Amino acid sequence: MQIKGIRAAAYDAEDVIEIFASKVEFITDKGLVTKLTYYPLKIVNLCKIGKEIESLQMRLNGIVDSREKYGIKNLGEGMSSHGEELRRLRRSSPFSEDKDIVGFEEITKSLVAELLKEDKNRRVISIIGMGGVGKTTLAKKVYNHVDVRERFNCRVWLCVSSSYDHKEMLRSIIKQLNTMSKELLETLEKMEEQDLEQRLYLELQDKCYLVVLDDVWKEAAWDCLARAFPDVNTSSRLLLTSRNLDVALHADALSMPYKLKTLGQEDSWQLFLRKALGPGADGGCPPYLEEVGRDIARRCAGLPLAITVIGGLLLGKKKLKSEWEKVLNNISTYLSRSQSGVSEILALSYADLPPNLKFCFLYLGLFPEDSVISVRKLIHMWIAEGIMQKRDAENLEETVAYDVEQLFSRNMVQVAEMTVDERIKSCRVHDLLRELAIKKAVDENFFQIHDTKDDEISAKSRYLAVHILPWYKKYFGSSTPPLRSLLFFNVHAYRGNVSLSFKSFRKLRVLDLEKVRIYRLPKEIGDVRLLRYLGLRETRIGKLPHSFGCLRNLQTLDICSINWKVKVSNFIWKLESLRHLYAYNIRCNVSLKIEGLSNLQTLSGIHFDDIMHNNMITLTSLRKLGILLDVNSEIDKLCMHLSVVGSLKTLHLYRTGGREWPTLAGLSKLHHVTELKLSGEWKMLPPDFPPNLSRLSLTFTYLMDDPMPILEKLGQLSFLKMKDAYHGRQLIISRHGFHQLKFLELRALHHLDEIKVEKAALPQLLCLRIRNCSSLGMLPEELMHISTLDKIELVNMPESFISRLDVRDPHKGSSAPYLRIFDYSFPQRG
């Protein structure tokens, strides 16, 4: 309760300061006469903020007094015993190998082959994955494999864990290499780190050794051990398990880590049967238990540790449907109370996060179960929350994108969709990690989720996610919580008009109403002066009020709507903090003024005429621009107009109807543009391209002629994506074509039945992705001879196509590219 009190006081202090600053800013922007008029109000506000700060000080003093009165210890005191118990649970041993293993057969073979590979150099092979996914179980299976035992004349197992002692780790390895004696123990206790390292090095230098380093959390843990492992042409190996991809790459950048994923539904079910029914499970599940049993297995979301714990619990219970239903309805409680500490083991990953990433992870808990979350949207929201304030203001988006990568590399989030050049487009959170985020958020007074019709909104809520709306009720009632974020999800089927009173929400930073059936925003929206993110995508709002111009702190405004036009007054130019404007289908009675927005980085869905009526050179930060064109749009004049925008890197041109096509001439004037996207029914390629173009996307262009003879001559093109872009049956890539292309994606080319690749074409290609090309007969044989080609990804391709392929494991070292096959026809879990 103390921590909650301190955190609540900190939130209140920040609110007081920001609200006062916004009021002062409002007065400062006025003329001299207005400033004099408002001067008494400024004095009143100063007096008010003084009283509020005094009240906060009294609250903090009360917390300190209660701490002393009740003898409450400092944070961290008295917690060591719990930490020791958890470390004891996590301490692994190679001797207690689990025989009930499901789904590891192929990866075990691959790992053993990697360890036995003829390579005299010392190599590090890594297994990575989220907590509880089975990394240690897999490592034990490999460690005890008969071929591994025969190959290595010296094997050592070391559990490192999140809190490690360098000297103790060195001593542990030395003890495993020697016959234990009292003299040895006394000697090791007296030795310093350097002496221990030297002794271990000497003991291993003439051996073909295998050392398993289980549960490595930090790069520093590897660094302090690495120098004690000799690399002297004895074909020695180290097998490392970690939750952190960066640790694995740091240990050996030349070895591709083995990513251990959660189990699929059928493997989960088989493991559950073995754990819940015991050795006799080969006979299958009793029919009366199967439905509830499969529900339990699904709730474990493919995590082997969770399945093992719940299955073991059911093994000791009567085989009654009522008993299994009781476990199903209380599965989170059983996992948190289990002796194996499933929830605590997952919580270790949270505890290891730096403060800014803890905030980001907790924020993910606001999203509904199984949500596919747009990374772009997340980045905008997190910046709006102010967690990046101490960083480079110009590069906030890149910095936060790195934080998303960090959560991914630590296996705290899963990638839902990735571009062909490995940029994360969307992500999801494993169900059990989401439950962890919710639990931690409640413990830390972070947010509230409204997911039943009877939920009441807490008067103390600061971050609120609405998953279910009550029918025909005034939503917030008399409650006026000090909300910072208000997010709505999956409420588009709500039959009433969602009505919000913004007088109660003046502390809001983030408001997301995407797909909510709301028809108007009250003029009081202009009083929410701290608002930084406003999502109105696919709402029913027909007009934005004039008071929008008062939102001087707004950073992201998303008012895209495919089927609903939104009228706006000419106020956009007043939003001086605006960084991202997504404006597809907005309408203004006059030309929309945007010039002078020096912070604007993204401007998407703006009409050609509006662009031409603005002095674009004043948009000094503009990087991404999306323009709607019609048959009357003069592209050559547009390109001349944009040629002065030195910061512009990405240009997206949308064609919006009409039977005639504007000529795409003049693109060669855009020297600064490196990425071009063309969308809509163009029928033919432009006669010229930006001279420094490195990325090109063609979407719904319906080209009639093979575009490859033109595109393959673009000298700097490294990325090409074609989605429903070509209606022909054949693509031909000629000799020496695309000499810089590294990433190629062909998607939804439904008429394409043949790809021809001539010899020496695509000499730099790293990855080819083919998705939903339903008529394609086979892959060109010439692809197998491109030495740089690392992988070919096949997504939602016909069974007849897949059956002709020879799938290679990436870890076996073949020169042929690695084939990865995905089927996203149905929702994927785990």
At 376-435, the pLDDT tens digits run 999 999 999 887 654 555 677 888 888 888 899 899 998 888 888 888 999 999 998 998
pLDDT number for residue 534: 96
Last residue of a domain, one of 406, 423, 442: 442
| In a shared domain, residues 97 and 220 | yes
What average pLDDT does range 1-19 have in this prediction? 60
Last residue of a domain, one of 14, 37, 69: 69
DSSP letter for 703, please: B
Is the pLDDT assigned to residue 692 strictly greater than 90? yes
| In a shared domain, residues 251 and 281 | no
pLDDT number for residue 507: 85
| In a shared domain, residues 120 and 88 | yes
Is the pLDDT assigned to residue 102 strictly greater than 60? yes
The label of the residue with tokens 């807490």 reads 458
pLDDT number for residue 111: 94
| In a shared domain, residues 101 and 250 | yes
| In a shared domain, residues 306 and 194 | no
pLDDT number for residue 474: 56
- Grade residue 608 by pLDDT with cuts at 50, 70 and 90: very high
- Tabulate helix, strand, coil % of the chain (nearest 5): 40, 15, 45
Question: In whole angstroms, what is the distance from residue 34 CA to residue 31 CA?
Answer: 5
**Residue 21 forms part of a structural domain:** yes
User: Are 342 and 334 spatial neighbours (Cβ–Cβ below 8 Å)?
Assistant: no
**Residue 577 forms part of a structural domain:** no
User: Are 519 and 541 spatial neighbours (Cβ–Cβ below 8 Å)?
Assistant: yes
| In a shared domain, residues 403 and 330 | no
**Residue 205 forms part of a structural domain:** yes
pLDDT number for residue 827: 37
Q: Phi and psi of 733, rounded to 5°?
A: -105, 115
Is the pLDDT assigned to residue 775 strictly greater than 80? yes
User: Are 562 and 540 spatial neighbours (Cβ–Cβ below 8 Å)?
Assistant: no
Q: Range of 31's domain? A: 2-69
pLDDT number for residue 19: 60
What is the CATH classification number for the domain harbouring 428? Answer: 1.10.10
pLDDT number for residue 364: 93
The residues, ordered by sequence, that sit 6+ positions from 134 with a Cβ below 8 Å of its Cβ are 101, 104, 260, 304, 305
Which of 39-53, 149-163, 562-576 shows the lowest mean pLDDT across its residues?
A: 39-53
What's the chain's average pLDDT?
A: 84
Residue 601 region by backbone torsions, left for phi larger than 0, else alpha for psi between -120 and 50, else beta: alpha
Measured CA distances, 561 to 525, 539, 571 (Å): 20, 7, 19
What average pLDDT does range 274-278 have in this prediction? 87
pLDDT number for residue 79: 41
| In a shared domain, residues 246 and 390 | no
**Residue 251 forms part of a structural domain:** yes
Measured CA distances, 601 to 543, 610, 629, 645 (Å): 24, 17, 21, 12
pLDDT number for residue 405: 87
Last residue of a domain, one of 233, 259, 285: 259
pLDDT number for residue 35: 47
Q: Phi and psi of 196, rounded to 5°?
A: -65, -45
What average pLDDT does range 89-93 have in this prediction? 60
| In a shared domain, residues 122 and 213 | yes
- Compare 339 and 730 and report the one with higher pLDDT: 730
Which of 69-73, 281-285, 309-313, 629-633 shows the lowest mean pLDDT across its residues?
A: 69-73
Tokens of 167: 């000297």
SS3 8: helix
Measured CA distances, 793 to 246, 510, 588, 767, 826 (Å): 24, 37, 44, 8, 18
What is the CATH classification number for the domain harbouring 276? Answer: 1.10.8
What is the spatial order of strands in the sheet that 154-161 belongs to? 154-161, 209-216, 237-242, 123-128, 258-259
What average pLDDT does range 729-755 have in this prediction? 95
Q: What is the pLDDT of residues 294-346, one digit of tens each?
A: 999 999 989 998 998 898 888 888 889 999 999 898 888 888 776 566 888 88
Which residues on neighbouring strands pair with residue 258, listed in sequence order?
127
Q: Phi and psi of 642, rounded to 5°?
A: -85, -15
Is the pLDDT assigned to residue 76 strictly greater than 50? no
Is the pLDDT assigned to residue 64 strictly greater than 80? no
pLDDT number for residue 519: 83
| In a shared domain, residues 242 and 201 | yes
- Compare 64 and 284 and report the one with higher pLDDT: 284
The residues, ordered by sequence, that sit 6+ positions from 167 with a Cβ below 8 Å of its Cβ are 191, 192, 193, 196
Question: In whole angstroms, what is the distance from residue 277 CA to residue 497 CA?
Answer: 51
Question: In whole angstroms, what is the distance from residue 149 CA to residue 235 CA?
Answer: 14
The total domain count for the chain is 4
pLDDT number for residue 31: 52
pLDDT number for residue 5: 60
Is the pLDDT assigned to residue 84 strictly greater than 80? no
- Grade residue 81 by pLDDT with cuts at 50, 70 and 90: very low
| In a shared domain, residues 139 and 154 | yes
**Residue 422 forms part of a structural domain:** yes
- Grade residue 620 by pLDDT with cuts at 50, 70 and 90: very high
Question: In whole angstroms, what is the distance from residue 317 CA to residue 184 CA?
Answer: 48
SS3 68: helix
pTM of the model: 0.84
Q: What is the pLDDT of residues 196-252, one digit of tens each?
A: 999 999 999 999 999 999 999 999 999 989 999 999 999 999 999 999 999 999 999
**Residue 175 forms part of a structural domain:** yes
**Residue 559 forms part of a structural domain:** no
pLDDT number for residue 527: 87
| In a shared domain, residues 26 and 162 | no
Q: What is the pLDDT of residues 129-173, one digit of tens each?
A: 999 899 999 999 999 999 999 999 899 999 998 888 899 999 999
**Residue 314 forms part of a structural domain:** yes
| In a shared domain, residues 108 and 92 | yes
| Dihedral angle over CA of 726, 731, 735, 738, nearest 10 | 30
What is the CATH classification number for the domain harbouring 102? Answer: 3.40.50.300
pLDDT number for residue 462: 83
